[in-house]
Amino acid sequence: MFEGVLPALVTPFSSDNSIDAESFRNIVNYVEEGGVSGVVVSGTTGESATLSTREHKELINLCVDCAKVPVMAGTGSNNTVEAVELTKHAADSGADGALIISPYYIKPNNAGLIAHFKKIAESADLPIVLYNVPSRTGQDMPLEVIIELSKVENIVAVKEASGNLGKVSQILEQTVDEDFEVLSGEDGLTLPILAMGGAGVISVVANIVPEMMVKLYDAVKASDLETARKLHFEMAPLIRELFTETNPIPVKRAVELIGLSSGAMRLPLAPLSEENSVELEKVLRSMGCIA
């Protein structure tokens, strides 16, 4: 259902701190011109934790309206009822799938995790992608939970951002007979995950250099690992700069530097430090992203 390169879109804000619809459309158009396979809206990179429920729905509607590629909507929450509400809205809005982060802060046991995701999957008729990001949630979704959930008909993939390539390998190995995919959730590990059989990447760096990540994906699929490695190392300095501070602080600054508008960060996130901004600008200039 979802493969290739899907940018985890930033959410631009206007001077009054509302969602900047025009700037968002420009960002979607920019990544689409870079050849991406789909887009992810209202995820971590989109500052979803600072969006109200109304804004969350507004942003999903906006993305579905303007995107020409499939839309995966971030609809997760540590509150199952809220996640169900947002996922139902995504289905009603015409989104092509939903990305569901594991419940942050609460740290449910395995039975709770499974019941949470099954409840959401049962609530809406659209494909569900699990999102495992222990650095954000405080809990690494156990392998046995992912394997159990892979058997649910409309749970079709997992976005893996645990940094554990051994675990990714086990997921691929143990779901080989299921209609289930693994998507890289970390730009720097996209090459090895694709090489093991991953279906694609939900990417931060693709907000800035979508065409390069697309070329890397295409090269792996064509078994051209020499080209894929070259692109991997060309993007590596930028990827590092995009994570010098909490995502999406650096990438929103990068969006501004390449000539698009991302607006201010919403508190409690603050703008990128001057020191890191200077280094980010140097890398973007060295890559030809800015003059």
Distance between CA atoms of 246 and 266, rounded to whole angstroms?
Answer: 13
Confirm or deny that 75 is annotated as ligand binding.
no
What's residue 92's pLDDT?
Answer: 96
* Token pair in block for residue 178: 């299921």
Residue among 30, 57, 159, 217 flagged as catalytic? 159
Average pLDDT of span 173-193: 95
Give dist(CA 140, CA 256) in Å, integer: 33
Position of tokens 């289930």?
A: 180
CB atoms within 10 A of CB 149: 20
The structure's pTM equals: 0.95
Share of the chain above pLDDT 70, in %: 100
Q: Does residue 131 carry a catalytic annotation? A: yes
User: How does pLDDT run across 126-149, given as a tens digit for each residue?
Assistant: 999 999 999 999 999 999 999 999
The pLDDT score that the predictor gives to residue 183 is 98
Task: Annotate 86-100 with DSSP letters as a single string.
Answer: HHHHHHHHT-SEEEE
Confidence check: pLDDT of 2 > 90: no
Q: Which of 131, 167, 215, 252 is catalytic?
A: 131
**What are the residue ranges of helices labelled H in the chain?**
21-33, 53-66, 80-93, 110-123, 134-137, 143-149, 165-174, 190-196, 210-221, 225-241, 249-257, 274-286
Rounded average pLDDT over 12-21: 95
For 75-121, write each residue's pLDDT tens digit. 999 999 999 999 999 999 999 999 999 999 999 999 999 999 999 99
Above 70 in pLDDT, residue 209?
yes
Query: What does the alpha-carbon distance between residue 61 and residue 59 come to, in Å, rounded to a whole number?
Result: 5
Q: Which residues pair with 5 in a beta bridge?
A: 201
Please tell me the distance from the alpha carbon of residue 194 to that of residue 16, in angstroms, as a whole number.
41
- Look at residue 1 in the predicted model and tell me its pLDDT: 65
| Residue 45 annotated in ligand binding | yes
Pairing mode of beta strands 71-74, 97-101: parallel
Whole-angstrom distance, CA of residue 206 vs CA of residue 149: 28
